[in-house]
Amino acid sequence: MRDTEKLRKRIFEIVQIGNHPDLLSIAFDIFITVVIALNLFVTLYSTFDSSVRFAGLLKAIELLTILIFTAEYILRLWTAKYLYPKLSDVTAACRFVFSFFGMIDLLSILPYYLPLVFPQGAVAFRILRVFRILRLFRINAQYDAFNVIADVLKAKKNELIASICLILILMTASALCMYSFEHEAQPEVFQNAFSGLWWSMSTLLTIGYGDIYPVTIGGRITAIIIAFLGVGLVAIPTGILSAGFVGQLSKYEEKLAKSDIIPETGYISIQIGETHPWFNKKLSDLLIPPQLDPLLILRDGSKLLPLPDITLLENDTLIFDIKKL
């Protein structure tokens, strides 16, 4: 039993995102990345007419990659208890199945097996293969930049929601105005308020398809006003994300720069052991006193940024800066 649990834990360490100096785990990440790229290549290339000559080879590659994804999914289910150590085996497995990456893994393999079980729905299930593209999130999750974007979205969600609501309000108002002006002049084009909504969307977002356009004086004046407002309003979410992204990167760079001159006093360092209550927990799940600011994590001679989703491993050293409250 002990050997089985030891093997189970080792497999968990391998299938998770690799950490230096675990070369086997890093090699597994590279292997899965290559398999994802190969699977997506088969999906894209199969849409070309020239792929008919290689149909047999493409199907064989697709089958091989799907089997690899299936084996990986089963291994992640089997080792889910180490991802959620406070839960039982069954509860941890269910938690993984309904997690974000668990759903991505399931949706990437399900479209292949469903037509085998329900042949009558093969055409409909084939459409679900587009979910394979979600596997790219597995690649993005290995890079700090993707985590920084996720942090910015969480930090700026209220501002983003407010700006999007403002755009939707303006879009609805302009759609109703345009419908009022244009319905009588061109009833076949502006048949209802939704036609005006389609026009306002393409105008506000500066797409300008040209399939619907005003012909009345009132409609054209409204279009000019909406076009000017659209340039400014649509740029608001972009500005919020850009400012947040630059600010977050500056914050992390400042922490890395400060870590090069850490004095012996003024900082608190905590060594993480296998028996430490913070072992194998995400930084965002820790109850950290407000006067302590995570500065960096020392791991096998490397400096890691204290991102919220990073998991603390054995022999990690977590260094805190003491805030002046």
Question: The domain spanning residue 286 has which CATH number?
Answer: 3.30.70.1450
Question: pLDDT tens digit string along 238-267?
Answer: 888 888 878 877 776 666 665 555 544 567
pLDDT of residue 278 exceeding 90, the answer is: no
| Beta-strand runs (E) in 253-316 | 267-271, 292-299, 302-304
Say if residue 233 is in the same domain as residue 124.
no
Question: pLDDT tens digit string along 181-217?
Answer: 888 888 888 888 888 888 888 887 767 677 788 889 9
| 214 prior amide bond cis, ω within 30 | no
- 81 compared with 256, residue with greater pLDDT: 81
Q: Among residues of the chain, what percentage have pLDDT more than 90? A: 7
Which residue in this structure is represented by tokens 């009558």? 120
Query: What's the chain's average pLDDT?
Result: 79
Question: pLDDT tens digit string along 149-171?
Answer: 777 777 888 888 888 888 888 88
Coil, strand or helix at 143: coil
Say if residue 127 is in the same domain as residue 37.
yes
Find the CATH number of the domain harbouring 245.
Answer: 1.10.287.70
Tell me the C-alpha to C-alpha distance, in Å, between residue 94 and each of 88, 98, 113: 10, 6, 20
Residue type for 15, please?
Answer: V
**Structural domain ending residue among the three candidates 142, 175, 199:** 142
**Structural domain ending residue among the three candidates 261, 280, 304:** 261
How many domains is the chain partitioned into structurally? Answer: 3
pLDDT of residue 325: 47
Say if residue 16 is in the same domain as residue 137.
yes
**Structural domain ending residue among the three candidates 232, 261, 290:** 261
d(CA 277, CA 263): 27
Say if residue 117 is in the same domain as residue 150.
no
Question: pLDDT tens digit string along 31-77?
Answer: 988 888 888 888 888 888 888 999 999 999 989 998 998 999 999 99
Inter-residue contact 197 to 172 (CB < 8 Å): yes
Say if residue 18 is in the same domain as residue 138.
yes
Domain with 179, as residue range(s), is 144-261
Inter-residue contact 19 to 25 (CB < 8 Å): yes
Say if residue 117 is in the same domain as residue 149.
no
Find the CATH number of the domain harbouring 35.
Answer: 1.20.120
pLDDT of residue 257: 63
